[in-house]
Amino acid sequence: MKNFADKLIESIINKKSVSVVGLDPRLEQIPAFLKEEAKKEFGNGFEAAGSAFFEFNKRIIDAVKEQVPVIKPQMAFYEQYGKAGIEAFDKTVKYGQKKGLLVIADAKRNDIGSTAKAYAAAHLGEVELTDGKKSCFDVDALTVNAYLGTDGIKPFTEACKQFEKGIFILVKTSNSSSGDIQDKELKEGGAVFELMAEFVKKWGSDLVGEKGYSSVGAVVGATYPEQAKNLREIMPQSFFLVPGYGAQGGGAKDVLPCFNNDGFGAVVNSSRGIIFAFEKEEFGCKETEFEKASQKAVEKMNNDINTVLKEKGKIPW
C-alpha cells in the first residue's frame, strides 16, 4: 500500500531536501508594495489581507518549489481574516500542490467522535453535500493534538488510510514551556510525551507504507535534541515534523537525532527565517526581492542540514 510517507520520501529524494517552508504570513511583515496593491483593489479590510497573503505565498512558492518537498501553511494566520483568510489558505494549498509540493496544514485540530470526523473530512477527506461528496481543503497532511485520546484520533487515521493522507501528532513541542504537561513523569515510567509517542506508534502501526514509514507522524521540536533521540527509538516508523529550526533557536546539529540511519524520518520546518529572509542583511535583498531572499535562505538551510546529515552518513539520495 502506497501511503503519505511514500509520497514524502519520493519528494525528499527528488528535491534533495528535508526542508519545509512554513507559510505563516503576518500582515505587518508583508512587503509594503504587496499590501498597497491589495489595498488599492480591496480597500482596508479582510479581503485585502487575504489577497496580500495569497500573492505573497504564490511568489514564495514559485521561488522555492524546486528546492523543497513540502510547504506548511499555519492555519491560525489565515483564520484571523475569516472567510477571506480561509480563501487565501485554500488557494495557497491548491497552488502549492499544482507546483508539485506536498502541503501540511498546521492546524493542530482535535476533537472526538463525529466532530473529529468533521475535521478529518474538512482537511483530508470528503465532506457531505446534499447529493454526494466533495473534498474541501484536501491537504496532504494535518497536524493533530491528541490530548483527547484514541477516539479523537481514529477518524483521522481512517481518513489517512482511505485518501493516502498523513497526520503529525503533537508529541514534544518546540516552545519553552512545552514541559509543563509533556515532561511530567508518569508513575508507570516515562514522561507524558513518551506515552504520547507510544500511542503514535500504536495508532500508526497498520498504516505503514511501501518504504517502511507510517502515515502517522509526530511533531518533535528542534529545541529538544535529547528528547528527540529517545523519541526516534520509540517511533522508528514515524516521520517527525520538526519545528523550532532557525528563528526559535534550533540548528542543523540539533535536528540530527530526529533522523533514522537511513537518512529519512524527519522534515524540518522554518517559517519566519525563510519567508521574511528579506529582513536580514546577510541575504542582501530588498523588500521587493523577497522571493529571492527566501530562495537564498532555503539554499542555506538545505546546505546546513545536508552537510550535517552527510557527515553522519545519513544522506538518503
Residues in region 101-140 near its own copies by CB under 8 A: 108-116, 118-119, 121-122, 127-132, 134, 136-137
3-state secondary structure of 51: helix
Residue number, 87 or 140, with CB nearest to its own copies: 87
The residue annotated as part of the active site, out of 108, 117, 161, 292, is 108
**What residues between 288 and 307 interact with its own copies by CB under 8 A?**
none
**What residues between 10 and 39 interact with its own copies by CB under 8 A?**
24, 26-28, 35, 38-39
Residue number, 68 or 196, with CB nearest to its own copies: 196
Alpha helices (H) in 99-137, listed in sequence order: 113-123
185 makes contact with its own copies (CB under 8 A): yes
CB of 235 to its own copies, least distance (A): 16
Is residue 50 within 8 A of residue 81, CB to CB? The reply is yes
d(CA 37, CA 289) in angstroms, rounded, equals 16
Give which of 199, 202, 120 is closest to 156, Cα–Cα: 120
**What residues between 234 and 273 interact with its own copies by CB under 8 A?**
none
1 makes contact with its own copies (CB under 8 A): no
Binding residues for its own copies, rule CB under 8 A, total 75
Query: DSSP string of 246-289?
Result: STTSB-HHHHGGGS-TTS-SEEEEESHHHHTGGGSGGGT--GGG
**What residues between 143 and 182 interact with its own copies by CB under 8 A?**
145-152, 170, 173-182
d(CA 234, CA 225) in angstroms, rounded, equals 14
Residues 6+ apart with CB under 8 A from 110: 116, 119, 144, 145, 146, 147, 148, 152
226 makes contact with its own copies (CB under 8 A): no
Give the side-chain half-sphere CA count within 13 A for 137: 27
Residue number, 121 or 274, with CB nearest to its own copies: 121
**What residues between 63 and 92 interact with its own copies by CB under 8 A?**
74, 76-77, 79-84, 86-87, 90
Q: Is 286 a catalytic residue?
A: no
CB of 88 to its own copies, least distance (A): 10
Catalytic residues: 108
